[in-house]
Amino acid sequence: MRKHNMVFQIVLTCIFIVFCFMINFPFWLLISASLSDANVLAQQGYQIWPKPVDFSSYIYIFKNPGQILNAYGVTFTFSVVSMILSVLLTAMIAYPLSRKHLRGRNIINFYLYFTMLFSGGLVPTYLVVAKYLHLDDTIWVYILPGAVSAWNVFMMRTFFSGIPGEIIESAKVDGASEYKIFATMIIPLSKPVIATIGLMIFLSKWNDWNTALIYITEPKLYSLQYLLQSIMEDINMLKQNPDAAAMMQEMNVPSETIRMAMAVVVAGPALVVFPFFQKYFVKGLTVGSVKG
């Protein structure tokens, strides 16, 4: 029996090793392509190891480092602030909704659910955000619109509902207020769902380029995604011009490998953040999943 279990563990480990290799191999090819010479990549295709190693794509992206670093700072700032503010507001809404004695609980739940079915549309949203709230060309346009998601509220509400009521009742017997129970007991016990929602918010904000496209005209407020997208659009526009395309070829602008380098530049910080949330991620999704 012990030998059978050992064989099973070895086979299972080998399967997971192959599975991990399959997951990481495309990303390795992406890095390899970003470090390849554009002409070699066009002739030979993707290589496991670039020969020769060429940093021209990264040099082209960072030829104006101040612009890239500013975009990094803007994106990191509104991503972190949005994550903290959204998690706090979501928890403050979800906790009362998890209490069965709350008056009007079903009405509020239906109101939140209704927002998941219908949207105001792009034009009304733009009018509210830009013309009435005057958030355009400010960093708050990245943070305030969409600060609370009904889906996240329901996920966190379900997690809070799973916390034993005896814990809350014992704290009330000891004289703790609702605010103290929420801050000192509910929040520490809810690390999995908080980390899960926080990670999803951070990644969605980090990958946001549509907001800058619609609301931002000041270059100093460009997000990283929008800035890199603009660089790529400029290159594509120049390639459509025969004279500019010939000039780009003479200057050896690595138009093909720049796409890969941009993907690496954008994905880097997210890959650094994810391991710190990974141990909470699965538990937060399963325990805090929406029930019926």
Domain that holds residue 146: 56-287
Same domain, 100 and 19: no
- In terms of domains, do 139 and 228 share one? yes
In a domain, 50, yes or no: no
For 232-288, write each residue's pLDDT tens digit.
777 666 666 665 555 555 555 556 677 777 778 777 777 776 666 666 655 544 444
Same domain, 27 and 61: no
Q: Are residues 30 and 81 both part of a single domain?
A: no
Task: Give the pLDDT confidence of 3-39 residue by residue, as tens digits.
Answer: 667 888 888 889 989 988 888 888 888 888 888 777 7
Q: Is residue 107 part of a domain?
A: yes
At 51-109, the pLDDT tens digits run 777 787 788 777 777 888 888 889 989 999 999 999 999 999 998 888 888 888 889 88
Domain presence at residue 246:
yes
Residue 42, in any domain of the structure? no
Domain count, the chain: 2
Same domain, 20 and 89: no
67 and 142 together in one domain: yes
Residues 133 and 15 in one domain: no
Between CA 195 and CA 59 the distance in angstroms is 36
Task: Determine which of 114-123, 150-159, 204-213 has the lowest per-residue pLDDT on average.
Answer: 114-123
In a shared domain, residues 25 and 160: no
pLDDT at 288: 44
Residues 124 and 22 in one domain: no
Clarify whether residues 96 and 208 are in a common domain: yes
User: Are residues 22 and 137 both part of a single domain?
Assistant: no
CATH number (domain holding residue 174): 1.10.3720.10
